[in-house]
Amino acid sequence: MTKTKLSELLSKHVVLADGAMGTMLYQSGVFVNASFDELNLSNPKLVSKIHKQYVEAGVDFIETNTFGANEVKLSRFGLGEQVEKINKAGVEIARQAACGEQSRTTGDKVLVAASMGPLARDIALYNQITQQQAAAAFQRQASALAEAGADFIILETFSNTDELLLAIEAVRSVSALEIVAQMTANEQNETPYGEKIDHAIARIAAQPAVTVVGLNCSVGPSAMLTALELIRAVTDKPVSVQPNAGMPRQVESRLLYMSTPEYMAEFAKRFYEKGARIIGGCCGTTPAHIREIVLAVRAIDKAATSKTRLTTVTLETPPKIEIKETPLAQKSKFGDKLSKGQTVTTIEITPPKGLSIDPILEKAKLCAEMGIDAVNIPDGPRASSRLSPMVTAIKIQQAADLEAILHFCCRDRNLIGMQSDILGANAIGLRNLLVITGDPPKMGDYPQATGVFDMDSIALTGVIRNLNRGLDLGGSTFNPPTSLVIGVGANPVASDIKREIEKFQQKVLAGAEFAITQPVFEADTLFRFLDSIESFKIPIIAGIWPFTSLKNAEFMANEVPGVVVPSYLLDRMAKAKTQQDGRIIGVEIAKELIAQIQPRVAGFAVSAPFGNVKIALAALAKLEVNQI
């Protein structure tokens, strides 16, 4: 049977790797001065147990316990004659752990990566070892690993670029297996030999034999994120990142890695956003770290690689019967104001966690009295479970003379369920939708829940546009069509702004009629984004979040994805002495920003912090500050 290749997995989804082997062996009581590789012979059960823990964490491949199993390193332990035996045993143990197993998050077969590290000797320096001797050592190890049936070879933790180039050439001379080549860098983004890491990676990536280039070891996730940004600029090849769990600290004569699994997972998501295609861990990372990384990254990758983009129903598919699409001005009062270029105001009201909806209705009635055009109803914000946003929206429209903008999330329903609910929303009078991909379940109160993500926001936008033309997912026509105003999200401060602009363009081409931004806190940042999307010609509504305290501002700055809060605003919020002071300063900041950006936007979507709509109304100058 033909082997699955690493490149095949990379073409389908981000590939998740295991974590440290040495750390786990050390924690199991193996002395640091022992040969960890030799345990393949003397204690295979221990090695196998660790492999299985990583497989159970949901990885796509595990690395063999052969990092130091080359002739040079093994000779220090008197094991130079057992190179073949140790390496073959390493592959066999890993294969048995992975045999028949599938990644629990993708269903793909778990692969076995043959780990090869540097020789830990300076080549042709002080007569330590010649290039010929080094090449022979690499060839001997690679031959044993390939013959034992490894799926690909990973050359890792190389600090000398010339040695890695030599290793690549040596491996290719004895094996056709795909090669992942990884360098190590310090916090100054240099190799230990002083070479700039982007320069080193460019040299490695130029080798035709290399399938993936990347970084591992030496530094924690924060420093590696910076290095990742540098190397993405010098190669189009897939990039791997496997950081340590932070920098080790000495605690009671032991070196311990202090980064928590949750911290590593947060940075793993940033690695993904910056274009990494293989994400895993190195020293200090354990199955617990990798499990959190898998949960965090797999959800966003599934959303980004939506299967529905492959559907045969495309935006260009003409209806079999010509059905006239309802003009924007006739779809809703909100749509009418947008079509006329009039400024719109909306306030976000989150559905309750239980059944008590009366307080929500009272807030909506107040918004209507104050002349607000619509209320935004989030759909499971931050992957929380609340009363149905559709039910909340309907109740509000029934109780108050006020339209709702229903957020519609791709996370929780398959494509059939989504189409059914969209048709239902139109039928019961909900005409304004904001299409969002949705936060991964990992972010919420139910981290073990499964995100569906049959579609992302781009694909769903196209589906709704087709429904507005009387064309369903199966390609069948129906009449009358839906009359839905289609909104999408936008993030002016996305970490990868080029990618964000490309996604925004795709949303507009798919049929978006307006956009609401993530909360913005600085006019110049928003203006730069507006300049970059000016040609796309849809109304942009600015998201506004009035701070209530320094703590609230710090939370927005540090814990809400896609939000950037300038430090000078944090300093300003720090001047608040009381809770009321915090609200007043927060409203002042929001009002100043609204005044600055009003000429450039179609309106404002103001959040109600902690459900307090009076704060949002004050930010829109509908109430006096002393009334909040």
pLDDT given for residue 347 in this prediction: 95
pLDDT at residue 440, as a whole number: 64
Q: Is 403 helix (H, G, I), strand (E, B) or coil?
A: strand
Sheet strand arrangement including 239-242: 15-16, 278-279, 239-242, 210-216, 178-183, 152-158, 111-116, 61-63
Q: Residue 312, Cβ neighbours under 10 Å: how many?
A: 8
Give the model's pLDDT for residue 124: 52
What is the model's pLDDT at position 308? 46
Q: CA-CA distance, 306 to 269, in Å (whole number)? A: 17
Q: Is the pLDDT of residue 10 over 60?
A: yes
C-alpha distances out from residue 458 to 316, 437, 465, 469, Å: 15, 8, 11, 17
Do 110 and 151 form a contact (C-beta atoms < 8 A)? no
- Give residue 179's pLDDT band: very low, low, confident or very high (50, 70, 90): very high
Every domain range in the chain assigned CATH 3.20.20.330: 6-305
pLDDT of residue 493: 87
- Render pLDDT for 484-540 as a digit per residue (tens, 0 to 9): 999 999 999 887 788 899 999 999 999 999 999 999 999 999 999 999 999 988 999
Does the pLDDT of residue 1 top 70, yes or no? no
* Closest residue by Cα to residue 346 from 560, 517, 530, 482: 517
Residue 383 has pLDDT above 60, yes or no: no
> Once rounded to an integer, what is the mean pLDDT over residues 403-415?
87
Q: Where in the chain is the domain with CATH 3.20.20.220?
A: 332-627
In 187-301, where do the E strands start and end? 210-216, 239-242, 248-251, 254-257, 278-279
pLDDT bucket at 304, cuts 50 / 70 / 90: low
What average pLDDT does range 478-482 have in this prediction?
93
What are residue 164's phi and psi, to 5 degrees?
-65, -40
If one compares 560 and 344, the residue with the highest pLDDT of the two is 344
Q: Are 207 and 176 in contact (CB under 8 A)?
A: no
State yes or no: pLDDT of 309 exceeds 90: no
The whole-number average pLDDT for the span 395-405 is 93
Confidence of residue 626 (pLDDT cuts 50, 70, 90): confident
pLDDT of residue 496: 79
Q: What confidence category does residue 556 fall into, taking pLDDT thresholds of 50, 70 and 90? A: confident
What number is the average pLDDT over the span 382-407? 86
Residue-level pLDDT at 414: 81
Q: Does the 6-305 domain belong in CATH 3.30.750.24?
A: no
Residue 444 has what pLDDT?
Answer: 46
Place of tokens 């972010």: 443
Q: Give me the percent of the chain exceeding a pLDDT of 90.
A: 65
Examine the pLDDT at 177 and tell me if it is beyond 70: yes
pLDDT for 149 equals 95
Q: How confident is the model at residue 222 (pLDDT cuts 50, 70, 90)?
A: confident
Q: What's the per-residue H, E or C state across 89-124? A: HHHHHHHHHHCCCECCCCCCECEEEEEECCCCCCEC
Q: What is the pLDDT of residues 28-61, one digit of tens each?
A: 988 877 899 999 999 999 999 999 999 999 999 9
| Alpha helix positions (H), 428-489 | 457-468
How is residue 516 annotated by DSSP?
A: E
pLDDT reading at 104 higher than 70: no
> Which amino acid would we find at residue 13?
H
pLDDT score, position 298: 87
Residues with Cβ < 8 Å from 10, sequence gap 6 or more?
A: 212, 238, 277, 278
Q: Decide: 374 and 620 in contact? Cβ < 8 Å.
A: no
Which one has a higher pLDDT value, 457 or 37? Answer: 37
What pLDDT, on the 0 to 100 scale, is given for residue 353?
83
CA 262 to chain CA centroid, Å, is 14
Give me the mean pLDDT over the 180-193 stretch: 93
pLDDT grade for 411, boundaries at 50, 70 and 90: confident
Tokens standing for residue 503: 């996604």
Question: Among candidates 15, 41, 510, 99, which has minimal Cα distance to 298?
Answer: 15
Phi, psi of 363, rounded to the nearest 5 degrees: -65, -40
pLDDT at 170 over 80: yes
* 513 compared with 626, residue with greater pLDDT: 513
Give the number of other CB atoms < 10 A from CB of residue 411: 24
- The letter for the amino acid at 597 is I
* pLDDT higher than 90, residue 282: yes
Take residue 322 and report the two structure tokens written for it: 């010509």
Which one of 2.60.120.620, 3.30.365.10, 3.20.20.220, 1.10.645.10 gives the CATH number of domain 332-627? 3.20.20.220
Please tell me the predicted confidence (pLDDT) of residue 306. Answer: 54
Q: pLDDT tens across 237-268, in order?
A: 999 999 998 765 544 445 555 678 888 988 89
Is residue 543 within 8 A of residue 520, CB to CB? The reply is yes
Q: CA 266, CA 270: separation in Å to the nearest integer?
A: 7
Nearest by Cα to 295 from 411, 442, 410 = 442
Spatial contact of 147 and 165, defined as CB atoms under 8 Å apart: no
> Which percentage of the chain shows pLDDT scores above 70?
88
* Averaged pLDDT score across all residues of the chain: 88
Q: Is a pLDDT exceeding 70 seen at residue 452?
A: no
- Distance, in Å, from the CA atom of 531 to the CA atom of 524, rounded to the nearest integer, reads 10
